[in-house]
Amino acid sequence: MTPQIHVEVVYGRQYRQKVAMVTLNEGATLREAVERSGLLAEFPEIDLEKNKLGIWNKLAKAEAVVRDKDRVEIYQPLIADPKEVRKQRAAEGKAMKKGGGEVA
């Protein structure tokens, strides 16, 4: 008999989060943990080809092997590139410092 491991699979939206506990055979992958969790049926927007996965806040490939008591995380795609957002904020800050408005 193959030894069993217990893994937590988590996914969250802005106002709704879900944690699923799954039991897997030792040597199972992140993909297997997500598929067994039932989260794909509950959150149809999850696409394992687009959503990144991780273990304990570190990115990992879907075929990486999980260990007992791992926390598998399903990440949402970014809606904006953080570097671009910082550049835009910096540009807006420079424009304001150059004296943009009238003083009453």
What was the pLDDT predicted at 1? Answer: 79
pLDDT, position 12: 86
pLDDT of residue 89: 79
Q: How do 71-74 and 4-12 pair as beta strands?
A: parallel
Mean pLDDT of each 10-residue bin along the chain, 104 residues long: 92 87 95 94 90 93 95 83 75 64 55
The confidence score (pLDDT) of residue 60 equals 93
Tokens at residue 5, please? 């491991």
- The helix (run of H) or strand (run of E) holding residue 92 is helix 82-97
Q: What is the pLDDT of residue 84?
A: 75
Domains of the chain: 4-79 (3.10.20.30)
Residue 86 main-chain phi, psi, to 5 deg: -65, -40
CA atoms of 32 and 26, how far apart (whole Å): 11
**Measured distance CA(32)–CA(70) in Å, rounded:** 13
Q: For residue 90, what pLDDT is reported? A: 79
Q: How far apart are CA 25 and CA 66, in angstroms?
A: 10
Structure tokens at 73: 């995380």
